[in-house]
Structure 1
């Protein structure tokens, strides 16, 4: 597939609390065909750890 399904963009950044729900969202994107772009960014908001993970749709050659 040369483009992401369902009209999704080729570049996405998922953010959320560092929990199972966030991990499932990233895993689902990988399952669709996205690839991780670099490592995640992590911060602490005073209550919980917040993660941001960029994903890209692989370039077709």
Structure 2
């Protein structure tokens, strides 16, 4: 099964740590990162898609993807 997640967060070190943690759990970057200005909070937001192949597991819409 192929899993997909879109990680988001503020444009700071916490976002980099979130992506790094996913990479160290076997996720792979998918496409380029995105950046967007949040006018309400007046901050930049980041996003990065990641994918992972998992054998022997059936997809279930209720599963927590980050646990895989």
- CA deviations on 1:6-48 (whole Å, 9 max, x unpaired) are xxx8110011101111110000000011100010111111311
1:24-35 to 2 correspondences below 5 Å: 24-35=17-28
Query: TM-score, with normalisation over the residues of structure 2?
Result: 0.68
- Corresponding pairs, count: 53
- The structure that is helix-richer by fraction is 1
Q: Structure 2: state its 5+ residue gaps.
A: 56-68
> Which of structures 1 and 2 has the bigger CA Rg?
2
Higher strand share: 2
| Structure 1 residue ranges, 4+ long, deviating more than 3 angstroms after superposition | none
